[in-house]
Amino acid sequence: MSAPNARTPAIEEEVGGPSRLKHLAGRGVLYSLAIFFALFGALPFAWMVLTVFKTNTDLYKPQNNPFVYNDPPTLSNLDVLWNETNFPTFVGNTLLIAVLVVIITVIIVVPAAYSLVRLSSRWGESLGIMIFLVYLVPPTLLFIPLTGIVADVGLQNSKFSMVLVYPTFTIPFCTWLLMGFMRNFPWEIEEQAMIDGYTRLQAIWKTVLPVLVPGILTVVIFSFTLTLHEFVYALAFVQSSAEKTISVGVFTELIRGDAYFWQSLMAAAAVVALPVAIVYNLFLDKFIAGFTLGAVKG
């Protein structure tokens, strides 16, 4: 005799059928939404790349289909960008400023976050919040007094003025972010290292910093991208074309009166956006881990 609670295959199929259909329907909705948002997010990049190689007659003729090449693609827009503007100089200036700002930010943020979390006891939380509030001050309120400071130190109309100013908004936020990440660190490891004979600096180097790599990487990516896209300070501090960054230089040299060089503008946007998007995707897991820990724990 079969067990009283045993189910025949027909009954199992009847019971599991609605549940399986419900599961498949849920997965179908999930994947449909994921595909929709992926396409929605990729649309600006696709539109940029498509526009770069369009001729003026193809782009501005209303009867043309905007999603295809009605005329043969052209490289003349890239020639305008590279040879009729100082775009290579803008790229070099931007990379130099971004690298220097990232180095300054990391050097200051790591010991600042460590000291606020590890050495300041209950005052660390309050100081961290106060530092973060500095980041919330709008740049439009600060660029006028900062312009006076830049002039006083002799960096007016110099790209190094931005190296001086940009850490004022990268350091506060990144300190708060890294503080949240450090609160998740098991400090018993550092204490054990000091018991074993390491100095505090050696213990930090050997035990704390290796664990903080995702948080430090988050700081690097955030500082780099924020510096790359900043506009207000770059416009206020620099007037010479040889000292401008991408965000200001492209804007001022490819918009001439009422003439907009849309294809060359899109080419500049693509040259900047695509490498950043690739870097984000390569380090996406570490970036999300550091950012979420900084947001939740902080």
Architecture of domain 85-297: Orthogonal Bundle (1.10)
Between the ranges 7-11, 17-21, 80-84, 214-218, where is the mean pLDDT highest? 80-84
What are the tokens at 93?
Answer: 């200036």
* 40-62: pLDDT as tens digits: 888 888 888 888 888 888 888 88
Q: pLDDT value at position 207?
A: 80
* 20-37: pLDDT as tens digits: 787 788 888 888 998 998
* 157-188: pLDDT as tens digits: 888 999 999 998 888 888 888 887 787 777 77
| CA nearest to 105, candidates 190, 222, 3 | 222
Above 90 in pLDDT, residue 107?
yes
Q: pLDDT value at position 8?
A: 52
Q: What are the Cα distances from residue 13, in Å, to 7, 9, 20, 202, 228?
A: 10, 6, 10, 63, 58
Map out the domains of the chain as residue ranges: 9-47, 53-78, 85-297
Q: pLDDT value at position 7?
A: 52
Q: pLDDT value at position 270?
A: 84
